[in-house]
Amino acid sequence: MLGDGNLPPAYRRYLLIVGLFTLGNASDAFLILRAVDAGVPAAYVPLLWGAFHLVKSSLSAPAGALSDRWDRRKMVVAGWIVYAATYAAWGFASGPAWMVGLFLVYGLYAAATEGVERALVADFVPPDRRGTAYGWFHLVVGISALPASVLFGVLYHWRGAAAAFGVSAGLALVSSLLLLSLKTPTGAAGSAPATR
């Protein structure tokens, strides 16, 4: 896997890191399950989901603009750390108020990372290889997503919410450290320090 010799080694490492993060990023259906278990009436779940998407859609464009001026790796890491914190809290929090707050904060993670993870592809790969690079990116995410949900579901059933959410948070933190240690090519878009 990742044997395309025309893709830079740093990009292949980036794909492995994204794959590791995705292994801890189970289906959002588990968040809805957790919210209902914690006391959110099922009738209000669409409102909760809508609030998450409102935060995500409102902040995605500003997050993308910030990533054009800031090191994109750090932007993704910031989002992954928010993810780790919310997942860790989801493992222990109870009550509808906590669930509402966590869904809103989770929207920050989605806004900060979903577009920027893809934009980071362009920082690693020359223009004539970007089509291939994006294909590999989506393949790795897709392949990792199924076992992520299976693993999460097994842990949730076997050891409870704290274990399942805790493992996901741990994988996000490990992925964050690995991404911070990965260097983007000098002069890549988004790799320069933020302007003041």
pLDDT at position 126: 87
Length reported for the chain: 196
Instruction: Return the SS3 of 184.
Output: coil
Per-residue pLDDT for the chain (196 aa), expressed as one digit of tens each?
Answer: 454 557 889 999 999 999 999 999 999 999 999 999 889 999 999 999 999 999 999 999 998 888 888 889 999 999 999 999 999 999 998 899 999 999 999 999 999 998 899 989 988 988 888 899 999 999 999 999 989 999 999 999 999 999 999 999 999 999 999 999 998 765 454 444 333 2
Q: Are 175 and 21 in contact (CB under 8 A)?
A: yes
CA distances from 88 to 81, 162, 167, 177 (A): 10, 7, 9, 17
pLDDT at position 185: 63
Residues 33/38/40/45 CA torsion (nearest 10 deg): -20
All domains in the chain, ordered by first residue: 27-181 (1.20.1250.20)
Alpha helices (runs of H) in the chain, residue ranges in sequence order: 9-23, 29-37, 45-69, 72-90, 96-124, 130-159, 161-181
Instruction: Return the SS3 of 190.
Output: coil
How far apart CA 93 and CA 101 sit, in angstroms, is 10
Alpha helices (runs of H) in 70-129, residue ranges in sequence order: 72-90, 96-124
pLDDT at position 188: 54
